[in-house]
A and B are shown apart, each in its own frame.
Chain A
Amino acid sequence: MDATLTQYVPLWLIVLIKSAIVLLVVVTTFAYSMLFERKVMGWMQLRPGPNRTGPWGLMQPAADAVKMMFKEDLTPETADPLIYKLAPFISLITAMGVFAVIPFAEPTGDGWFGAIGDVNAGILFLFALSSIGVYGISLAGWASGSKFPLLGSVRSTAQMISYELSMSMSVIGVLILAGSTSLMTIVHQQARIWFIVPQIVGFVIYVITAVAETNRAPFDLVEAETELVGGFHTEYSGLRFGLFFIAEYLNMITVSCIATLLFLGGWNPLFGLGFIPGIVWFLAKAALFLFFYIWLRTTLPRIRYDRLMDFGWKVLLPVATLNLVVTAVVISFLGSQG
């Protein structure tokens, strides 16, 4: 992009254009991560996966979208209509909002590239938004006026509380190493060594909690179709169910991006492979993480609810705390830089 262009284009327009592009890319990514999941799961279950819609099933997301849009949007009689109708939007808006601060590549001086906005407390913004996203699920279950969604939302609340703690703990280790809460700075700090090396414990904890945070198998107790029908979204149909669906996958993409930024060096290339552009590195790492998610889903069965709680409180939290304390002590001995 031409640096002088910034002089003629107002900042708000730049942000608007960048938002539109990111939104478009993210929604497309969502659509194809869904297809990717169904394909990979199919392969792992000795099936070819969707392959009837277009070549290699590539039109499947479009077909699904059309299906969702034309289905009837039902509201149960016992539901609280306002909250019931609002809940999917809370989930979706927060899931989309986080992409405002995620830097995808090395920013250029004129602000045309990189993140939409480089918030200096980016990581806090991310966690704040994803915490609000839980309200979408909790309220959806509560407002459905039906027992299974209620159980799902109760589980969701408990699960989020227990896993978000450990997640924040695991992330604080990175913040100590980087000495900043700005995602840009955190990535810059990883130019020499990715934080996955000094923070391997933190990384493992982050990965586990991220799965729980996004309600994915084996921690998908919030949906748990074998016991709760559909969990919090049992009563939802049509486009509103679709919004929850989008939100779930966007959250998956988000936590993959965060893992990439915090632990896998963001757009920093592997040694000697600098000729590949940073954005490719970023996307490749995030995609790898997404693949791991799907891999995990096909491999492990759903964990029992009490064990989930046990694991969160009695294992993850103490280990995360220990990791945090050790990191802090080591850093304070070594000086301010890791």
Chain B
Amino acid sequence: MARKNLFNVLALVRGFTTTLSYAFKKKPTIEYPTIKKQHAPRFHGLHELRRYADGKERCIGCELCSIACPANAITVIGAENAPADRRSPGERYAARYEIDELRCIFCGLCEEACPTDAIVLTPRFEMADYRRGAFVYAKDRLLVAPDEGVGTPPDERPGGIPADLGLVSNVKSTVDITAGYEATARGKYLKDHRRGLAG
């Protein structure tokens, strides 16, 4: 009976109270440009090429990341280290290292393939630009600047957002994401089996 629904005043009252009560609920909106959401500690964002504590580049130009990359986003051209001006501790270093962030699928396989933990994924995600060419990141933008330390170790990535990204949302996550990750088998494995070259 269609008519019956039309006169179901109780249903109307319930509907109206529902919408009214929603008007006073806390809004889950995170007002993005000013407030940013806290994301998982191992969030896959923009890449970073790390250094050793003495300032030498970790990358030895082995091209394993490039081979591992399922999207063919990485181009590495290695070169022999000059004895007088050593760029990396190994025999070779990356003369050119380019990642096309438009091709990249942020899977993190490059990070896993790297024997020296040189390439890592940071939590930075704001890469928008007007030109496609601007998305090809070369060493000038990937490599950690000499005065900015060694970069972020892959399994010690801090939760949340790097300080330079601005305010962090005050919206509480329902799970403690840091603890959550450590509790997983993979997280535990990575914590217990630090790679030899880390540090």
Residues in B neighbouring A45, C-beta threshold 8 A: 22
Residue contact B16 to A295, C-beta cutoff 8 Å: yes
Residue of A nearest to B28 (CB): A46
| Smallest beta-carbon distance A93→chain B, Å | 35
Q: Does A40 contact B (CB under 8 A)?
A: yes
Residue contact A300 to B20, C-beta cutoff 8 Å: no
Q: How large is the interface on B (under 10, 10 to 19, 20 to 34, 35 or more residues)?
A: 10 to 19
Instruction: Choose one: B6, B12, B15, B25; the contact of A46 (CB below 8 Å).
Output: B25
Q: How far is the CA of A41 from the CA of B89 in the complex (A)?
A: 62
Q: Does B23 contact A (CB under 8 A)?
A: yes
Residue contact A43 to B27, C-beta cutoff 8 Å: yes
Q: How far is the CA of A298 from the CA of B22 in the complex (A)?
A: 11
Q: Does B54 contact A (CB under 8 A)?
A: no
Residue contact B19 to A48, C-beta cutoff 8 Å: no
Q: Does A192 contact B (CB under 8 A)?
A: no
| Smallest beta-carbon distance B2→chain A, Å | 7
Instruction: Choose one: A47, A51, A298, A307; the contact of B19 (CB below 8 Å).
Output: A298
Residue contact B23 to A299, C-beta cutoff 8 Å: no
Q: Does B31 contact A (CB under 8 A)?
A: yes
Q: Is the interface of A mostly helix, strand, loop or mixed?
A: helix
Question: What is the number of residues of chain A that contact chain B, defined by CB distance less than 8 Å?
Answer: 15
Instruction: Choose one: A40, A44, A48; the contact of B31 (CB below 8 Å).
Output: A48
Interface set, chain B 1-53, CB cutoff 8 A to A = 2, 6, 12, 15-16, 18-20, 22-25, 27-29, 31
Instruction: Knowing A307-B2, A307-B6, A311-B6, say if A46 contacts B16 (CB, 8 Å).
Output: no
Of A43, A48, A295, A311, which is in contact with the most chain B CB atoms at under 10 Å from its CB?
A43
Residue contact B2 to A43, C-beta cutoff 8 Å: no
Interface set, chain A 78-137, CB cutoff 8 A to B = none
Residue of A nearest to B16 (CB): A299
Residue contact B15 to A300, C-beta cutoff 8 Å: yes
| Smallest beta-carbon distance A308→chain B, Å | 11
Residues in B neighbouring A307, C-beta threshold 8 A: 2, 6
Of A40, A299, A300, A307, which is in contact with the most chain B CB atoms at under 10 Å from its CB?
A299
Residues in A neighbouring B29, C-beta threshold 8 A: 46-48
**Pairs across A and B, CB under 8 Å, 14 listed:** A43-B22, A43-B24, A43-B27, A44-B22, A44-B23, A45-B22, A47-B27, A47-B29, A295-B20, A299-B15, A299-B16, A299-B18, A300-B12, A307-B6
